[in-house]
Amino acid sequence: MSAENDLESAPEAGQFEGFERPDGSVGVRNAVLVLPSVICSHVVADRIADAVPEAVSTPHGHGCAQIGSDNDQTRRTFLGLGSNPNVAGTVVVGLGCEVLQSEDVAARLAERDVPVRELSIQGVGGTDECVEEGVRHVRDLRRVARETARTRAHLGDLTVGVVSSDLDDSTVGEADPLVGRLVEAVVEAGGRVVVAGNERLTAHPDAARAAAATDAVADAMDALFARHRGYPAKATRVAAEASGMAFEDATRSWGGLPVNEVVDYGDRVTVDSGVAVLDAPSRFEEAATGLAAAGAQLVVHVTADGIPAGHPVVPVVKVSGDAATVDALAEDIDVDARRVDGATFRERLLAVADGAPSRAERHGLTQFAITRVGPSM
């Protein structure tokens, strides 16, 4: 079945039913997050989440032997993920001897009014004991989740994450312009859009700075460029292709709108409405994690290659304009950009916000990664 013929309708035009959070945000999912604070506890976190329906985990290779900016960035990302609107509560699972302690992460989440529980493998006496106690914590938070009020919301209540992970002809010509029209619609409705893809910025610093809505945003752009000049060089295909085309062509998925905020990786977007750019690469799994930490309730992913994976915390809507990819991966692509107009795309997005599974969710496919500033020890 083709992607465009599998569009579930939202309950009412422009609306969806979400989960009301204490900070006033609206979640489009109501999961309990089992968050390992260190690589050494991620298998236990996975086992805990697997034991309880509607729990998710985020396996990763971080939290130990990281220093400086990398350690700070990992902490920020954990806090952003744990307080994402799609998360009803978080269970932080540590080992006990790591640099980034589970107790610290849990305490900082509690300061954000997130329902949170914490435990460590060493603290409770071993792997089996940690799984058993962790499952009890998740079930406790599931009761909290079931009591969460449902609320009617609309397009303007969304923070939509966008990542376009390539600059192929079909992406620039078909998929990115379609996503750009969605970005314009979300902002016009009063919502926020966070876009990843710092390679597009660093390839065109003058044009990127000119896109800033205010002098303060332009200064934040300059700070981003300075950071990247100090980072280890990372040669990527997107960076090379972005430098060979105009800024306007490389950023068509952004809707041509001014940039209202520059967000550091792991930080939460703060602008009330408009477009924010996230200091994240175009690599899907790293971008999606940064967008989720920034507060996006869902992510739109443009892929000419047909990368099928989603993300544990946010539903991912796959968009492709590549004919061969859509034909070969019809059940993995949500939107064929060649055949779907802007209104139909918005309805698809709102249907996913209302609870209809995206293709990646339906298949249970997730990837999770946190971008690194430099090498770990």
Per-position DSSP letters for 27-93, written without gaps between them: ES--EEEEEESSGGGHHHHHHHHHTSTTEEE---S-SSS--HHHHHHHHHHHHHHHT-TTEEEEEEE
Confidence of residue 9 (pLDDT cuts 50, 70, 90): very low
Q: Quick check: 276 and 195 in contact, CB under 8 A?
A: yes
Q: C-alpha angle with apex 119: 47 to 86, nearest 5 degrees?
A: 65
| Mean pLDDT (the chain, rounded) | 92
Q: Where are the alpha helices (DSSP H) in 317-371?
A: 323-328, 342-353, 359-363
Is there a contact between 35 and 45 (Cβ–Cβ < 8 Å)? yes
Q: How far apart are alpha carbons 373 and 287 in whole angstroms? A: 14
114: pLDDT strictly greater than 90: yes
β partners of residue 151: 18
Model-level pTM? Answer: 0.93
Least confident of 33-47, 79-93, 346-360: 33-47
Residue type, 177: P
| Cβ partners under 8 Å of residue 217, min gap 6 | 259, 260, 261, 262
Q: What is the pLDDT of residues 189-241, one digit of tens each?
A: 999 999 999 999 999 999 999 999 999 999 999 999 999 986 766 668 899 99
Find out whether 47 and 356 touch, Cβ atoms under 8 Å: no
Q: How far apart are CA 282 and CA 371, in angstroms?
A: 11
